[in-house]
Structure 1
Amino acid sequence: MNRWLSLLLVAITFNCLASDPIPVVHKGTIERIEPFKSKLIGSRYIDVWLPPGYSENSKYDVLYMHDGRMLFDANITWNKQEWMVDEVAGSLIEQQKVRPFIVVAIPNGVKNRHSEFFPQQPFEKLSKQQQAQMYQLERSADLPLFNTKVYSDKYLEFIVTEVVPFIDANYSVKKGGKHRYLAGSSMGGLISWYGLMQYPNEFAGAICMSTHWPGAFAKDKILFQQFLNYIKVKLPTLTDHKIYFDHGDATLDAMYPVLQQQVDTLFTQEYPKQQWQSLFFKGENHSEQAWSKRLHIPLEFIFALHPEISAQ
């Protein structure tokens, strides 16, 4: 079926207005698919960013990004910040520093974000009592940290079994896991490495910026230890996959250096050095503004035209 006809049928079938403004981009174009119905999780829209010069005569890699509302247009985000994905990725592609790729921006579940992004298998390794205690945590007064039970496995299944087939069928993309990647920050960093390790045959790499290793907002190490245990078991399932970590040391990122160092030690012992990076940015905080300033680094690492150079 013609891609444009398929998109039109989606809109006609569900007859739904956009729940958020469509981002205005400075490079490339945005196509919105709404609503994107799911049998697994809450339905939502997805935004597909097509790079400058996008052509159905070419084939593209795909970057699946979490927290899709925050990626393109600061005028419509809650904090008036953005990742500047279109500017950064578009410029790198135009300068031929990376191979062309499209971005599939998936909005989070809003009040369910923590439950959607928290790695489920490590969470379920906690005792029932520990899980119950986690579910009692609050982000702020009268605002629970987990609005519902953790369902990140369903969220990842949604991406792999519903979103990926749609993108493969309607866009000019390279097929197969070796051409798909995950990216996110904070809780989105957690779900990115977790998604890679849950589905090593479906994704070729992950970008994890300011990864929220504590899992919650206290200094309790119980959750982090479960992350480490899970990674130790799953890391041998990765082969030529690429994975990128980074963090700063200001605001929420101040919680990360000691924990990231433990993850780095594990990777140093178990994973080829050319396949992963972990960078520290002194003085940088936990914000879209900070991530936008260094986004070019993981994009060049993941989508390098000359992989042997990016690994040096």
Structure 2
Amino acid sequence: MKYLIAIILFTCCSSGLKAQYTVRIVVSSIAAKPRDEIFIAGDFNEWNPADTKLKLKPFGGNRCIIVMNIDTGHHEFKFTRGSWDKVETTAKGEDIDNRMADIKGDTTIDITIAGWKDDAPEKPRPNTASVNVHIIDTAFLMPQLNRYRRIWIYLPPSYNKLKTNTYPVLYMQDGQNLFSEQTAFSNEWGIDESLDSMAKNGNKECIVVGIDNCGDKRMNEYNPYNDAKYGKGEAKLYIDFLAITLKPFIDKNYRTQKEMLHTFIAGSSMGALVSLYALVQYPEVFGGAGIFSPDFSIMPQLYTDVANVKWQQKFRIYLYAGEKETASMVRDMQKMYNIIKEKNCCNMQDVIFPLGQHNEKYWRQEFPDFY
């Protein structure tokens, strides 16, 4: 019997299983708007603001409760009433930082929700995009998915001055979060300010194309694989759109360096995973990727696809994760780093930031080093 128990323990440890604990979150005081259901959104459900499996239940009086099984480690979350337009705020309607919890055992957390975003007086958010940012189209056709999408473009400061110059191109996911506070989910990356500043310091310039995410279809478009929770994976069609439809349009209408060695792709979270998947599907199109905060536990099959792909080119890949993100993110990212490294075909860098959390503030800080 002791021998059998030892084998079981060894198997669990060596397979990298993560401990899970029961977390009870009691919201003991809730601001107005009782007519709506309340949800919890966090790094444990890819920040889905209306996840029916994570809906709070009445708990007597004005209280409500949710009980979840969560992996050990650091987690971030917020409460919503079904959308980010109805996310929790301070009593004055001001944005709050993500709530944080370090889960090391069964835990009960007591919380007060002071206000809701849609209760606060409307304060128009400023358009912080620089003069070098333009909207190509608010409804660009994606024939592969039969959808339409807003497409952004950043043109370098020298673009309209040096009429014969051509430029490399970086394609980035979650376009609404790249350039302007007005459209960003939380905060923007500040891609335009960052590149403008680096151009002044003599760095090579590039074009950036931002593709908005689809909101409720984001988890589908950025996932190659069917998922029991979110449904059909559509990333193959999404990447087909980038490679077959969008890139030829950009190359035709702008002065680009069209070759694979000058074409890059990047994103964060699910956008990071689909960016790496683009190298698997179109290694002849994309020459490098910026992979910011990828949660490979969402799509472990990507390990196999990357291991099996036959890459002939010399890619450039930048992997970044923060230690204050999900418990397994750093470990899982290092596993992918080792898989790619064994292929001996990439110039790679992996960065682990001890204070890094899962949000645009930290991706903004990291972008210049990636660039």
TM-score (norm 2): 0.62
| Match status 1:77 vs 2:184 | yes
- Tell me the residue number matched to 1:287: 359
Deviations along 1:25-61, one digit per CA (max 9) or x if unpaired, are 2363323323211211211120111121213321011
Structure 1 residues 1-312: aligned runs within 5 Å: 23-26=127-130, 28-41=132-145, 42-55=147-160, 56-79=163-186, 81-97=187-203, 99-118=204-223, 120=224, 123=225, 134-135=227-228, 137=229, 146=230, 148-215=231-298, 223-224=299-300, 226-234=301-309, 236-252=310-326, 254-272=327-345, 275-299=347-371
Q: Percent identity?
A: 27
- SS of 1:96's partner is coil
> Residues of 2 paired with 1:62 and 1:104: CA distance?
7
1:173 Cα deviation (Å)? 0.9
Which 4+ stretches in 1 moved above 3 angstroms? 21-24
> Residues of 2 paired with 1:94 and 1:71: CA distance?
20
> Residues of 2 paired with 1:153 and 1:202: CA distance?
14
> Residues of 1 paired with 2:312 and 2:322: CA distance?
26
Is 2:306–2:340's contact at 8 Å kept on the other side of the alignment?
no
- SS of 1:74's partner is coil
> RMSD in angstroms over aligned alpha carbons?
1.9
Residues 260 and 282 of structure 1, relative CA distance in 2, 3 Å threshold: same
1:272 Cα deviation (Å)? 5.0
Number of matched residues?
Answer: 244
- Structure with higher Rg: it is 2
Deviations along 1:166-201, one digit per CA (max 9) or x if unpaired, are 101111111222221101000011001110121010
> Residues of 1 paired with 2:284 and 2:345: CA distance?
18
Structure with greater helix share of residues? 1
Letter of the 2:307 counterpart? K
Residues 78 and 175 of structure 1, relative CA distance in 2, 3 Å threshold: closer
> Residues of 2 paired with 1:78 and 1:193: CA distance?
23
1:69 Cα deviation (Å)? 0.4
Residues 256 and 44 of structure 1, relative CA distance in 2, 3 Å threshold: same
Q: Which has the higher contact order (CA 8 A, sep 6+)?
A: 1
Deviations along 1:210-232, one digit per CA (max 9) or x if unpaired, are 012111xxxxxxx42x2211111
> Residues of 2 paired with 1:46 and 1:264: CA distance?
31
Gaps of 5+ in 1: 1-20, 124-130, 138-145, 216-222, 300-312
